[in-house]
Amino acid sequence: MRFDVMTLFPGMFDGFRQTQIWKRAEAGGLVSCDFHDPRDFSRDVHRTVDDTPYGGGAGMLLKIEPLVDCLEAIPRVGKSKVLLTSPQGKTLNHPKLLELASWDQLIIVCGRYEGVDERFIEGWVDESFSIGDYVLAGGELPAMVLMEAATRLIPGVLGNQESVDQDSFSSGFLKYPQYTRPVDFRGRQVPEVLRSGHHELIKRWRDEQALERTSRLRPDLLGDKQSEPHKKR
Ligand code: 4FV
């Protein structure tokens, strides 16, 4: 999977690229990423990439020329899609990330200022995505969220595929409670069943817990799924 990120702040990704999951995936040739700064495509000595909105209103917008010139300079690789980070986009979720993880190239345009010229969206963006109903200063964090979440779903990136399959949402349920040593912390015990070694009982307990917390915390996830969480669909 190849990520091409259009951003005015490529440095924001330095820390992200030091994360273990990304470094291992990049070293294994499972992912790669390149950064492209629209400011390098601005057409004036002041390297302007923003301007005031027609019709008035607060703030500035990203101009269309540097965005189009920057995008058209990115070599396309196989099945590629142009994504824009925007609060107006569809909110990312697990099924969408599974779909995005199947593309050869994702070009992510990071919004800044109050947004971008609408003609760029109409003419050059395949899909806008949001990470939630709140407003950020830029699209760089949403881009990293997508890059990490999609990369985790690429076969071979995570040590054991099992951990993806057991992720929250991959079964459509929230994950069951989990515990590790010590067995007792200030009188708080690890549930007996998990220390029983009785795998059938452990699985049943985890199913019940996943269903209970999903119906309590995220009933919207249940839809038709009223019964066991881990019954293969
Ligand atoms: C956002 C979000 C978001 C809007 C103006 C950056 C900001 C500026 N992107 N999910 N929520 N973007 O707030 O994706 O362009």
pLDDT in tens, 221-231: 887 665 555 55
Catalytic, 212? Answer no
Predicted local confidence at residue 226, as pLDDT: 55
Query: Tens of pLDDT along 84-135?
Result: 999 999 999 999 999 999 999 999 999 999 999 999 999 999 999 999 999 9
Is 221 buried (19+), middle (13-18) or exposed (0-12) by CB count in 10 A?
Answer: middle
175 and 80 within one domain: no
User: For this structure, is 114 an active site residue?
Assistant: yes
Q: What is the pTM of this model?
A: 0.92
Whether the predicted pLDDT of 208 surpasses 90: yes
Domain with 60, as residue range(s), is 2-151
Active site residue 87: yes
Looking at the fold, whether 103 and 49 belong to one and the same domain comes out as yes
Q: What is the mean pLDDT of residues 45-73?
A: 97
Ligand 1 atom having least distance to the Cα of 142: 14
User: Are 133 and 177 part of one and the same domain?
Assistant: no
- Give the model's pLDDT for residue 223: 77
Distance from Cα 6 to the centre of ligand 1, integer Å: 14
Percent pLDDT > 90 in the chain is 86
Cβ contact 103:117 at 8 Å: no
